[in-house]
Structure 1
Amino acid sequence: MDGGAERPAKARKTSWKKDPEAVRQNILAIATEEFAAHGLSGANINEIARRTSTSKRMIYYYFGDKEGLYCAVLEGVYAFLRRSEDLLDVAGLDPVKALRRLIEATFDAHANAPHFIRLVMIENIHNADYLRKSDIVPNLNRSIIDKLSDVCRRGKAEGLFRAGADPLELHWLISSFSFYNVSNRATFSASFGTSLYSKAHQAALKERLADMVMAAVVIGHDPKSWS
């Protein structure tokens, strides 16, 4: 389809009848781009419909209204981020290696999900009003806390982790570093240049994050990469 042309209604209807789930996913993909770029108030349903393989009427059929579509987009970006963490099996690793793997995976997941970062920033402007309506996101977010809880429990039981190691605090610390790395890239680069965003420097920052967190949690941890 030409980017500036509207697909004929017949073609849209045929596409919807053949694979309605594919049409729904197409709507979500385009809507994610639009909401991330323009926010809830700035995104335009007509523009989303123009760019998809369906119609404005079908967008409302699937999602109810603009706010319903926005909520579905939020759930989708959270699911994308957590899916990469869920695929990470750390149960068979010793607690120290498992913690480092989780830290690095969270850093990478945020770096690979700029739409997630922008949408979370937008949702914070709305005081998480729409996120609170979701029954899905709390369960999605629970998975990473469960993984960190298991790692902390095993680490403490083996005498490797400090008694105060808390999974929720760890998640906050790891996420804040990983989030800032993406959310403030434009302003940080404008102020200080882009050197920290080279491939090599991003790898180094990921190591720095892992070392800082592990130094706070793992008894006797020596951050050799800082020497």
Structure 2
Amino acid sequence: MEDTKTSPKPRVRDAEATQKRIMAAAKKEFARNGLGGARVDVIAEQAKANKRMIYHYFESKETLFQRVLEEAYSDIRSAEQKLQLDHLDARSALEKLVRFTWKYYLDNPEFITLVNSENLHKAKHLKKSELIHTMSRRFVSMVGELLERGVKEGVFRDGIDPVQLNITIAAINYYYLTNRFTGSIVFERNLMAPEALEERLTFNIETIMRLVCKD
């Protein structure tokens, strides 16, 4: 006899699809307006959901913002792991990491605005996330291993802190892009022109190499 019981799988898939739509809409809204300015009803409209469903799945706007942050950091950390830097010599691997960071910031401007918003809230959402800590430790370990490999190859200076190096790589990319509008006025050049972006990337790579390399 044919089983006429309703399978739970379609319902599960529907729930997952709804949550993905909510997350995607929330990412855009938080990136555009920050946590304080973001509106749950806008997120619901863009996600083709309703506010009740958002609160059902995510409990609050604060929790939804934390989930969006976790996903944003997870995306960049996962992409970094896929670079397969351990298959390259240390100098080439470091250059690839610098290039990746620059391109990722250019291609994902919402990541920068989400980080800016969280800094306004003194990282109170990231503090609650064990996932962020786990991903960050893995990334620091990857950079640390890269530095150790460079020392063994005789190309990198010894004693460089992987956390400080990561902060510097992020900073020289991050500052340029977050200040592109004011910088273009102050320095009287279009900082986002293709030739300016290429010039900046070259400068960033040279800066990091001078910091890390022996010669």
Query: Fold conserved (TM > 0.5)?
Result: yes
Render the CA deviation track for 1:107-162: whole Å, top value 9, x for unaligned: 11122221111111111111111111111112222333122111111111222111
1:132 counterpart = 2:127: yes
Structure 2 counterparts to residues 138-157 of structure 1, below 5 A: 138-157=133-152
Q: Mark the runs of 5 or more structure 2 residues left unpaired by the alignment.
A: 1-9
> 2-side partners of 1:68 and 1:98: how far apart?
36
Aligned to 2:77: 82
TM-score by length of 2: 0.89
1:106 counterpart = 2:101: yes
Aligned to 1:55: 50
The 3-state SS of whatever aligns with 1:196 is coil
> 2-side partners of 1:212 and 1:36: how far apart?
30
TM-score by length of 1: 0.85
Range moving further from structure 2, 57-66 or 181-190: 181-190
Asked if the contact 2:180/2:191 (under 8 Å) is kept, the reply is: no
Aligned residues: 206
- Aligned residue type for 1:91: D
Range moving further from structure 2, 188-197 or 51-60: 188-197
1:16, distance to aligned residue in structure 2 (A): 6.8
Aligned to 1:68: 63
1:17, distance to aligned residue in structure 2 (A): 6.2
The 3-state SS of whatever aligns with 1:161 is coil
RMSD: 1.7
Asked if the contact 1:111/1:181 (under 8 Å) is kept, the reply is: no
> 1-side partners of 2:149 and 2:83: how far apart?
17
The 3-state SS of whatever aligns with 2:99 is helix
Asked if the contact 1:32/1:73 (under 8 Å) is kept, the reply is: yes
Identity %: 34
Aligned mate of 1:200, from 195, 199, 202: 195
Render the CA deviation track for 1:4-40: whole Å, top value 9, x for unaligned: xxxxxxxxxxx97652212111101111111111111
Aligned to 1:169: 164
> 2-side partners of 1:168 and 1:38: how far apart?
30
Aligned to 2:38: 43
- Aligned residue type for 2:57: Y
Aligned to 2:207: 212
**Change in CA separation of 1:197 and 1:51 when aligned onto 2, cut-off 3 Å:** same
Q: Mark the runs of 5 or more structure 1 residues left unpaired by the alignment.
A: 1-14, 221-227
